[in-house]
């Protein structure tokens, strides 16, 4: 499996890093230590899509097309626009939008990953195999969503980043939105796959 590093993704990642490093320097000069922490976290997060792609290639796993580009955009929207530019405060729907997007896209990532891991046996019907892959993808999405909430908690606990805005209500709402978007995406995939099987 060859998940390529696109030149566009590398260029955008480099541009994001320049913006974030410049922001971090400004944070130091203006002594905005909370924003500096968020900038540093975002700088590290930018390399994650490329690490995931590298590991996927070693393990012969498939990733969705434009995985790096979409992941980079999500990191920028969440960390830079959301935290540094205060979009979470300016737009009440920004946080919900990103968590819904995360829940849905994680299902898509899981559906690609499972292609290179699990193969359908002859005695297993297409419908049963589809249901299994959907359950896996749904659970994968919820697991990643929960890990993200733990990431926010640890960031707040260790670095006082204030990523969790409303405590338990905020965390519960975020997980609920992820569950709903993951469920909708799974249902859409199921009915789309059924149509492809029948045609």
Q: How far is 153 from 155, CA to CA, in rounded Å? A: 5
Q: What is the pLDDT of residues 37-94, one digit of tens each?
A: 888 888 999 999 999 999 998 988 889 988 999 999 999 998 889 888 889 889 989 9
Q: How far is 72 from 94, CA to CA, in rounded Å? A: 17
To the nearest whole number, what is the mean pLDDT of the chain? 88
Cβ of 197: how many Cβ atoms within 10 Å?
Answer: 11
Write down the pLDDT at residue 199.
Answer: 62
Tokens of 196: 């492809």
Q: What is the pLDDT of residues 124-145, one digit of tens each?
A: 788 888 899 999 999 999 999 9
Nearest to 48 by CA among 78, 25, 27, 86: 78
Nearest to 174 by CA among 198, 192, 138, 150: 150
Write down the pLDDT at residue 187.
Answer: 94
Q: Where are the domains of the chain?
A: 1-87, 92-199
The residue-averaged pLDDT of 168-179 equals 89
Q: What is the CA radius of gyration of the chain?
A: 19
């Amino acid at each position: 499996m060859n998940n390529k590093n696109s030149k566009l993704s590398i260029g955008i990642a480099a541009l994001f890093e320049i913006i974030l490093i410049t922001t971090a320097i400004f944070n130091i000069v203006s002594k905005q230590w909370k924003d500096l922490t968020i900038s540093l976290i975002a700088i590290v997060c930018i390399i994650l899509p490329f690490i995931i792609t590298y590991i996927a290639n070693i393990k012969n796993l498939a990733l969705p097309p434009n995985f790096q580009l979409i992941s980079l955009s999500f990191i920028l929207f969440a960390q830079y626009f959301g935290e540094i530019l205060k979009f979470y405060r300016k737009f009440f729907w920004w946080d919900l939008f990103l968590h819904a997007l995360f829940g849905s896209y994680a299902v898509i990532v899981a559906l690609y990953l499972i292609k290179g891991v699990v193969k359908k046996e002859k005695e297993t019907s297409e419908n049963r195999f589809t249901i299994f892959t959907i359950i896996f993808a749904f659970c994968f999405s919820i697991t990643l969503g929960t890990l993200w909430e733990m990431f926010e908690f640890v960031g707040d606990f260790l670095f006082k980043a204030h990523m969790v805005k409303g405590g338990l209500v905020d965390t519960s709402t975020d997980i609920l939105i992820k569950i709903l978007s993951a469920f909708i995406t799974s249902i859409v995939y199921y009915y789309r796959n059924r149509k492809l099987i029948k045609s």
